[in-house]
Homo-oligomer: A and B are copies of this chain.
Amino acid sequence: MVEATWFIEGNDVMAGLYLGIDLGGTLIKFALLDDALIPKGHLELPTPVQKGPDEVIDMMIYGARKLLHQQGVSSSDLSGIGVASPGPIDFETGTVIAMPNIPGFNDIPLRARLADALGVETILENDANAAAMGEAFCGAGKNADILIMLTLGTGVGSGIIIDGKVLRGCHSAGAEIGHMIVEPNGEPCPCGQRGCLERYSSAAAVAQYARRLIENDGRQSTLSKILKKHGDIDASQVNDAQIAGDELAKEVWDRAMYFLAIGCINLARLFDPEVIILGGGMAKSGESLINPLRRYFNELHWTLTEPKTSLELSTLGSKAGVIGAAVIAWKTFGK
């Protein structure tokens, strides 16, 4: 009791810390932010996917304690924990309904498990929403009233932040920008629709389309050699090839940029955001992504006004989710 009082009144550095945890299929990331949203420490641990949910949760608790210890603080210095998780979440009960990459991680009351173990109030959020919150408060979208983040990876993840709040929708099914239809009767999507944005502009879609043109249509490309050697190609190899002048790679990359621009124009028409931020694996291609995207965006955009929404690369990179998780804790449990 006395010690707690001493911490709060006598040492501001110790009070008002927020822990973010980003639970991914490969890594669990941890980040500590203070009350001014200044990063105070960061840690990454492997996700023990094969060992099941209990071991995964134990690793989250272990990592949280380890980071706190490294920073010379304890869980009593935390004002809240935010956890970013992929897959569907029941926000009311704080339950992870399913984790696509962790077998058996179904209907796990993750919020209560962590809060009980660490003795700190905890909140769950979808990882794409968390990444958007991270960029909104600590990254490329600082001070934006409306910010949209697209994470270009296996799919197109997305988060929409309006006035500092995540747009979640009436049935927790909003902000699924990857499933905006950008080509009626277009590419079939596992979701059951056709022509979803993520069938054109995700890293996976880029690689798949290149492969299809080579394997099914017998098209010539420098990518054929990589495909033969490794049995697969990825989006960054397509980008390398298109930079080197490969015609097929240029066509594939161009298609992804074209439909991504259509998607961004639609977001500008509907939300009129300050900024649309591009993150995820494909954003590592930097100018190869942002330059043609901006070009198509400007070219296909209405002429009633100049484009006002800016398109920017993520500045937090792979840390957007974990920082955003801590930001959500700060928003929820801070004064």
Interface of A with B (CB < 8 Å)?
A: 144-146, 160, 162, 167-177, 179-184, 189, 191-194, 258-259, 262, 265-274, 300-305, 308-309
Partner of A272 from B170, B181, B192, B265 at Cβ < 8 Å: B170
User: How far is it, in angstroms, between the C-alpha of A303 and the C-alpha of B305 when the chains are bound?
Assistant: 38
> Shortest beta-carbon distance, A296 to chain B, in Å?
11
Q: List B contacts of A192 (CB < 8 A).
A: 301-304
**Pair A270/B174 contact, Cβ less than 8 Å:** yes
28 A-B pairs in the complex with CB atoms less than 8 angstroms apart: A145-B170, A160-B270, A168-B272, A170-B273, A172-B272, A173-B268, A173-B272, A173-B308, A174-B269, A174-B271, A174-B272, A175-B270, A176-B272, A177-B269, A177-B270, A179-B269, A179-B302, A180-B266, A181-B265, A181-B269, A181-B300, A182-B184, A184-B259, A184-B262, A191-B303, A191-B304, A193-B301, A194-B300
- A180–B271 Cα distance when bound, in Å, is 11
Chain A interface secondary structure, helix, strand, loop or mixed?
loop
A169 and B304 in contact, given A181-B262, A184-B262 (Cβ under 8 angstroms): no
Point out the residues of chain B lying under 8 angstroms from A168, CB to CB: 272
**Identity of the chain B residue whose Cβ is nearest the Cβ of A272 in the assembled complex:** B169
- Complexed CA–CA distance, A259 and B301 (Å): 20
By a CB distance below 8 angstroms, the chain B residues around A189 are 302
Find out whether the CB atom of B308 lies under 8 angstroms from the CB atom of A171. Answer: yes
- CB-based closest 3 A-B pairs: A169-B272, A192-B303, A174-B272
Instruction: Please name all residues of chain B whose beta carbon is closer than 8 Å to the beta carbon of A167 when the two chains form the complex.
Output: 162, 271
Assembled-state Cα–Cα distance A10/B2 (Å): 57
A300 to B182 CA separation, bound complex (whole angstroms): 13
Within the complex, the shortest CB–CB distance from A165 to chain B, in Å, comes to 9
Q: Are A302 and B269 in contact (CB under 8 A)?
A: no
**A169 and B265 in contact, given A192-B301, A192-B303 (Cβ under 8 angstroms):** no
Distance between Cα atoms of A177 and B268 in the complex (Å): 10
- The answer on a CB contact under 8 Å between B272 and A270 is no
Is B170 in contact with A274, judged by CB distance below 8 angstroms?
Answer: yes
Given contacts A193-B300, A193-B302, A265-B193, contact A180 B270 (CB under 8 A): yes
Residues of B within 8 A of A267 (CB): 270
The docked-state distance in angstroms from the alpha carbon of A179 to that of B308 is: 15
On chain B, the residues within 8 Å of A172 by CB distance are 272
9 more contacts with CB within 8 A, not counting A179-B302, A193-B302, A194-B300, are A145-B170, A167-B271, A169-B272, A170-B274, A174-B271, A180-B270, A191-B303, A192-B302, A270-B270
